Structure 1
Amino acid sequence: MGAFLQQDLIGVGSLFREAQDGSTNSTSWRIRGMAVLDSAQGQGVGGHILQTLINYASKQELPCAIWCNGRSTAQGFYTRFGFTQHGPIFDLPPIGPHVLLVKTITSKII
């Protein structure tokens, strides 16, 4: 998913069918590469991208889980969309502190 302002890409997010480490859940989706340009942050771009990814996953086989390793500084952002922390904060060198965030979806969005 990409967000554009005129012809400029200002935000991205991707979704892959991938089980969490140690899981065999075939209906899990992993969010990767969520990013919004600094100049576009705080304007709802990231929220629009994340909601689009959630909507896509919710139209697939249910129940499903969406998960990501999010920066610990972005945890509040994901929490506003129903994600919860699973486990302690961990370091992802050289990026820094991250947390496993998970959202379970049990009904389809129409």
Structure 2
Amino acid sequence: MDFPGETLLIKMWETLAEKGIGSLLAPWHEKRMGEARSQVRKQEMLVIAEAEREAEAIRSGERGVLANSDVQLLEGPRRCHSVAGRKEPTIDLSIYRS
């Protein structure tokens, strides 16, 4: 059972919520979403930078294991020789031959 003016009140509430209060909160919502996007982008950049540092440490021979991982690179007798001014690690596999 509808009371007099119920439809009018419902329509007024919908209009107020969509165009009145909703439009007042839009700048706050946009600012909050922008900050969240910035935080996500910052985390992505930090993870990429950390991965690049780990890769460089592995390439230079400082580290033979990936941090925070169960993956291990080949370990064994290593020698380094210079190629074009860079140290290149080599693995002596002759000890594994019988």
- TM-score band (shorter)? under 0.3
Q: TM-score, normalised by structure 2?
A: 0.25
* Greater Rg over alpha carbons, structure: 2
Considering Cα pairs closer than 8 Å and 6+ residues apart, tell me whether 1 or 2 has the greater RCO: 1
- The structure richer in helix per residue is 2
- The structure richer in strand per residue is 1
Q: TM-score, normalised by structure 1?
A: 0.24
